[in-house]
Structure 1
């Protein structure tokens, strides 16, 4: 793995303390990139940092609320100073505040839109100046099969559908500058977030998993590493003619 800062591409992965974000960070480091991992709690990224460093990678943890424009600008500036100008961005940060629409509060809706959709916009706006200056860049947004609609998730589904629209628009705007923007939409992936959904439904995670696996053609639940593989493809040099696409990684057809 190259350790020369001037030769090594730099990636920012948001929501990378655990789950999909942590797997993506580890995979991109394996692919030879230096990685900055953003999370609301910088200390929570310790395991991700340890995993990458043990494998010989360069990594930086940054505490950042991606829904706050000042924190985003400061975080990207820190990455630029300590690792180098980022030209790869993976927008993965997210929260859930599930409820049926008649019980959902304004704050439940706004906070989910703020982290998922506003956060992706703010990060993309901050990083694109480095991408366009370099004449090369890769942005990958993490949507979800819930973008197609999911009971109890009007906020989350709206945010994830919005990310698909943001992806296609940024692909049009940034494509002429050598920057591709694509979207990965996971299906059922075993993470802390899906465990929280099971808890909300009042069933065990094992029961929740069994229920969903029966509907998945490949008859297994997804792993964070499955999503990391898809992100890795979009980030590669060879994927330069793939732009504005939504890839469902769900064990079967969606959309």
Structure 2
């Protein structure tokens, strides 16, 4: 069996209980060495074979899985964050389907969730934003034209932008074209939940300058939106669910 496991956002204790169990039982671990916290590898048992996929091609990863299967071994494919988001797992699962090799997926804490927790932020605030757009800028790997950063920015929803730290000047330009005020809040979070985490609060017009001043060139989450401003600035509404005059099936409100 192959277990695709989300390693979490960085801190080793943010892996799920299930993921930790798989990691402790694994005979072979293939981990995304460019992003996964190596502290997690301390959970593996003596004799576990550990392979760093940062130095491997897709074919080499699949061959390692096939070899483990032939030898009756259990493999953990350890991906950063949650494997469903920019995890490149579909191509691996398709290959395994062709070879009739069984697998499952264990979710993890995505870096955007870890970053929000570090900020003590709620990404959806009543009256401000009720949607979160998870996306990235087009770089060496393109994006479908219908999902261009510029077109998604038109919604002015909360944005969590992956894999785009080297494209902040272009991001500023496209946000301005989408009608963002220059003082709209933005945050750059370097290695969220890691010991070396760095949080830089700025605006949509100072993203590139702020990253440069703080020496941040990669491995950062970019957040954009009014939810990151003060209550005085964004004027969010409190949840109706807990309002005294709001009735639910569990509680009678004063509106009855």
Q: TM-score, normalised by structure 2?
A: 0.34
Greater fraction of residues in strand? 2
Greater gyration radius? 2
